[in-house]
Amino acid sequence: MSDTLPAPALPVSKPPLSRLETKAEAISRAAMETIHQEVARREAKTAQLRAARLAKEAAERAAVAAKPAAPKPSAAAKRKVASAR
């Protein structure tokens, strides 16, 4: 036996909304639209900032890679510094 009820033959229509329900629905729809716009704006800004950060990090890595490494001090130089103290 099926747990679901059979679909009605005729579509069931909702009763018309009252004036207050219609106004509340319009306000709710406007609020949701504003929220969605703010979310989209925030996500776009986040993506833009992320792209700028990644570009900056890549430029810094390239600058570090292009700069030659400083030679390490030799053991004799380390002893000189230690004996001078």
* Greater model confidence, 7 or 72: 72
Per-residue model confidence (pLDDT) at position 15: 80
Rg (CA), the chain: 34
pTM, 2 dp: 0.52
* Tens digits of residue pLDDT in 18-63: 888 899 999 999 999 999 999 999 999 999 999 999 999 999 999 9
* Greater model confidence, 15 or 80: 15
Helix (H, G, I), strand (E, B) or coil at 24: helix
Query: Left, alpha or beta for 11 (phi > 0: left; psi -120 to 50: alpha)?
Result: beta
Tokens of 49: 């900032």
**Do the Cβ atoms of 36 and 29 come closer than 8 Å?**
no
